[in-house]
Structure formats: structure tokens, C-alpha cells
Amino acid sequence: MSLKYAIIGCGRISPNHIAAAIENELDIVALCDVVPENMKDKISTFNLPETTPQYTDYKELLEKEKPELIAICTESGNHGSIALDCIEAGANLIIEKPIALSLEEADQIIEKAKEKNVKVSACHQNRFNKSILKIREAVEEERFGRLLHGTAHIRWNRGEDYYKHAPWRGTWEQDGGALMNQCIHNIDLLRWMMGDEITEVVGMTDNLKHDFIEAEDLGLALIKFANGSYGVVEGTTNIYPTNLEETLYIFGDKGTVKAGGKSVNIIEEWLFADNLDNAEEVKEKYQENPPNVYGFGHNPLYADVIDAIKNDREPYVTAEDGRRALELVLAIYKSAAEGKSVKLPLEKCSTTDFKGRYDR
């Protein structure tokens, strides 16, 4: 029996979700978007039945269709409130990143999902990259020895057209800036690989050349992990003239790894003291060449969530994982705004705390 599936939000990222739903043989019972043309476009693109129900009100969808799995792909600022309504209705969720824009909402999602016994997965699909799964395996097998430091670089370009196309982007109310929107995937990977628990963050952010948005186009951070290792984040949408790279480095006293490519989908360095494998063979075997920065991770993420629902287990990427990525971005924002280091864990923080930060 395939699960009844619906998607709320049919914008830029929705094709990846719909394609994954089809590939995983979900029963697509409804689409939802406040712009009817967005739904019509997806029905045409994916040759869905023209009779597929289309809703502009997600609450009506919940009531009439009672989907078992929902993907939330709306503006980031609406993720939290929509998720809570969907969980209340008994639906399992895949929530596009970020899971919410406030820690309070993220915590409510986690608590309510437990209460209602539904599965919630944060859509950090790059965790399913072949390259990333291989690096994670090396971390879990402790091949790096003592972890020393790791770095996440997101050197991308976003021009004015990108923001004009969807005016919610770059606002504190609905999005945040480069770190929250473009960089959170790699920030998630860095935190995950380096031990998850963080004690302290020092950040600097600025808006250097995007005076048409409210939030940052550059973010830099130093991170101290509880295990004694360190992290560095460099994220920007200012790279001339187009996206340059997204890279993740992990350095241990017995291993060095670099993942690169469009969405950290290629292993560029693979050096371990144990010599358990051939570096060139690993690079060849664990590389992918996706057509865009979204990579190929949505399909396996969907497969995992479906299996988690059917077997009543936690998804590979949990709501708690989504909260951790959100917390780190918010900690960088907080440190930059206050001009001092921030101790973790954070209990309360939201993008809206930083309204007016770059007002000119």
C-alpha cells in the first residue's frame, strides 16, 4: 500500500520533491499553493492526472484529503506553523530546510511529533550524497583519529533577479540571509561530522552588496565543539560571476578529507593513516554529477522516511537534526549582532530578533 502524499508549496524546490514522490511510488493525492499557476505547472511538468486536487488553503487539504505524508516547501517563515497544523492532523512530514525560523517553533514541532507519534524529517538531503555517506562512515569508524578541525565553504552567487522572483527571500520574517537559506546544508554537515555538540560560536555577518534584501550576504564563523575540535564557516552569495563551489573539509590527526563539487558530491581528497582503501578508487566510486546544487539526495531521503513510517523508527535525518542546524545559524547571527561569542545550547532565538540589522 503506497502512502497518501501531498505537497504544500509548489515553488522552486518542489520539482525535486514531486520527482522523489513519484520515484518512491507515493500516491499523490493533492497539491497546495497560494498561486494556482504553480500547481498547474507542476501537474503539466510531471504528467500528473488533471483531476489531481489542487488547494490554495492547506487546512482544507488536511481536512479533505487526510494525507499520510506531507512535504512542506513554502516560504521558510511558514514552515513552523504549517508543520504544527499538519502534525495535529496526524500527518508525517518532510520539511524543507530550515525546519523553522525560531528555536521555539522547532521545539514545538519536535514535542508535538512525539505526542502524536508521527515522523518528521528535516530535508537536509545532502546527507544522502554518496560522498557524504562515505565520509560519515569514516567518522563513525573513527578513521580520522582525533578530530582537529573542519571547514564549510559555500561560495555562491545570488543576484537581484533571484530575490525579485520571490520577495520573501532575504527577509528576516520569512527567510534570513545567505547562511540560513543557501549555506544551512553545509553547516548541517559540518556540525554532524564534527560531533554535533557545540560549546561556543563567534560570528561576523554583513550585507556588502545586496542592499535590496534585509539580511546578510556574507557570514563567517568560528565554532568550538564539545569534543575539543573546531569548525570554520564561510558562506556568501557575493561570488562573481556565478556559483563557484561548496566544500567540506574534515581534518583529524590520522585523516584528511575534502568534499567538493556543486553540492559536496565529489570526494577530492581522501587520505588516511590506516591505508584501508585506495584513494583514487574511493574518489571514483563515491562521486556524483548532479545538474544543480540540489543534488540527488531527495530520492533516498524520501525512501528513508517512507521506511521509517512503515517500520516505526526515526528517520535518518530527524527534526532534532533540523533544529541543530537552525541553532548554529541563529548562534552565528546572535554573535554577530552582539559582537561577542555565544555559548550553546540556545533555548530561544529567531531570525526576527535581527530585524533592522542592516537598515541603511
Residues near 1 by beta carbon (within 8 Å), at least 6 away in sequence: none
| Nearest-angstrom CA–CA distance, 205 and 183 | 13
| Positions in the chain short of pLDDT 50 | none
Single-letter code of the amino acid located at 174:
Q
Q: Rounded distance, CA 304 to CA 126, Å?
A: 13
The pLDDT tens digits for 273-303 are: 999 999 999 999 999 877 666 668 999 999 9
Residues in the chain, overall count: 360
Instruction: Enter the pTM of the model.
Output: 0.97
Q: Give pLDDT, residue 289.
A: 78
Find out whether 144 and 250 touch, Cβ atoms under 8 Å. Answer: yes
Task: At 117, list the grid cell.
Answer: 507519534
Closest to 228 measured CA to CA, from 151, 146, 321, 135 = 146
Cα separation, 262 vs 294, whole angstroms: 8
pLDDT of residue 262: 80
The pLDDT value recorded for residue 294 is 61
pLDDT at position 1, please? 74
